[in-house]
Structure 1
Amino acid sequence: MIRRFLTAAAVASAVATAVLSAAPAQAIPVCKAGYQCTRTYYADSAWTVVVGGSTKFCDGTTDQWGQTSRYVETTQAQCQPE
């Protein structure tokens, strides 16, 4: 019983190490309060073919089209006070 437990623990440890040592994903920046944020998604690392996009407007509404990808560019513009 103890041998089975130790084997299972060793396997779990190896899997956790493999998962945690993978390259970290890039975080998409959060849209700050008082800013309009636009995200443009590209097909690949050449950053030449746009496949989708989304905009969070100053009034809180969101518009999106196309598809997302891991190649994303985020731009932010401060909203004008009303």
Structure 2
Amino acid sequence: MDMLFLQYSFKKVNIDKIVPVDKLIKGMFQDNFEFLQWFKKFFDANYDGAEYDALTARCGEPLCGKSGLARKPLPGAPRAIACPTG
């Protein structure tokens, strides 16, 4: 699911890289290593060294704020602790 979200995010910002989700989820070293090499090269070419303030980028929304990606927890998974409000 996360790889599909990555593919969607790439398309949204006009990055023409096809994420080989079917290969990556199999966990084969070579496929994952090739994607990692591409991503590192992409990152190095595009990162300008500027600081990133995640809270400002989210317009002040905390991580546990409203999310359209509600997931059902796995059986036996630890329960999340709610963020304090105020």
TM-score where L is the length of structure 2: 0.24
Task: Judging by fraction of residues, say which structure has more helix.
Answer: 2
Greater RCO between the two (CA within 8 Å, min separation 6)?
1
Q: Structure 1 length normalisation: TM-score?
A: 0.25
Structure having the larger proportion of residues in strand: 1
Larger radius of gyration: 1
